[in-house]
Amino acid sequence: MYLNYVIELSMVLDNERFHKLLTRTCNRLEYLDDNKYVDRTGSSKGIVVTYQGKQYKKKVQITINPSVMRDGGEFTSSKLIHKLERCVHDYFGLKYNLNDFNLKRMILMADIDVSSQEKVSAYVKVLQRIGKVKGFSPSNNECLNESASFCLDGNSNGVNFLIYDLKEVLANRIKEVETNRKKLKSIIENSEGILRAEVRLTEAKSIRAYTDKIDTSKQIAVLVKNSQDIFLATFVRVVPLGDFYKKDTATKIIQKEVQDMTLRRRMLRLMELIPEKKSLLLAQKALNYRKIDDVMEALAKINVSPITISKRHDVKHLKCLYSYLDDENNDDN
């Protein structure tokens, strides 16, 4: 599985130091709103710098996209840290270094190639039927079309999960930009049939959950090294294992493959409850069975997801999403 990631760093400054930086870069800045400025001159190298000049808090934020920065090459975590250090020095001067910034957010992204836009749409529709899961609740993202995405926010863990139609998102973005349209059109063409999944670590506590390092450089190094494990830790909490079927087909498979009558009855009942409760979590609670993990494991063992495809949708079967991630692992090997 190949992951892209975006890193966001922030640094709070006093009024004098903030305005020194702002003055030094003023000819490169674009005013947004609410005393917020952005410097996009480094965007072709994967770096965007934002200045937030609120009355009581002056902040500089760096958004880094290493996939753009490496331009087709590969970075080890140590090479990435070295590159980031150099970028900070080049932009801000030797007065500041990487560890003067706090790691504010990290986004891990997997592009899942399901081969067609029709399948992308079908996967989004069936995933939306998952609804609420343990530790996460459905949310809306202002940058995403609700009909083409499924988004969850962690209830208290500072982790967000998103999965969406990449081509649809990029097509909407091209309407909003005036520059680089030709390049963006090329990217849109290459996003055909891509389902993008994101795991976002959005708070200090979510970062601390995966590293006990204090220095920003060391935090980034650990998170990059363990990025696949971090991504999958959230992905498996949201997306059940197994292929997606229409209810009738899933029922037949369960009846054929599961000999334990009590377990079989619970599996079938859970499958019925999910569309009724509009939530995997609420369906699991309604089943009122203490060993719900046994039911989920039994479904995974026969490769059947408890989430069924709606009668209204034309598609009859969708492969387990994990099979695409495994294929990517095999490709990497």
pLDDT of residue 56: 84
Series of mean pLDDT values for 10-residue runs along the chain (333 residues): 93 93 89 89 91 90 89 76 91 91 97 96 98 95 92 96 95 68 77 96 95 96 95 97 98 98 98 97 97 97 98 95 77 45
One domain, residues 292 and 310: yes
Q: Domain end: 82, 100, 118, which one? A: 100
One domain, residues 132 and 113: yes
One domain, residues 232 and 119: yes
pLDDT of residue 332: 45
One domain, residues 212 and 136: yes
Q: Which two tokens stand for residue 214?
A: 């204090």
pLDDT of residue 253: 98
The whole domain housing 20 covers: 1-100
Q: Residue 320: helix, strand or coil by DSSP?
A: coil
Q: Domain end: 185, 218, 239, which one? A: 239
Give the list of residues 6+ apart from residue 3 with CB closer than 8 angstroms, or none: 108, 109, 110, 227, 228, 231
Residue 68 burial class via C-beta count within 10 angstroms: exposed 0-12, middle 13-18, buried 19 and up: middle
pLDDT of residue 210: 96
pLDDT of residue 206: 96
One domain, residues 138 and 185: yes
One domain, residues 88 and 178: no
One domain, residues 235 and 260: no
Q: Domain end: 224, 239, 254, which one? A: 239
One domain, residues 127 and 70: no
One domain, residues 67 and 182: no
One domain, residues 138 and 217: yes
Q: What is the number of domains present in the chain?
A: 3
One domain, residues 26 and 145: no
One domain, residues 269 and 286: yes
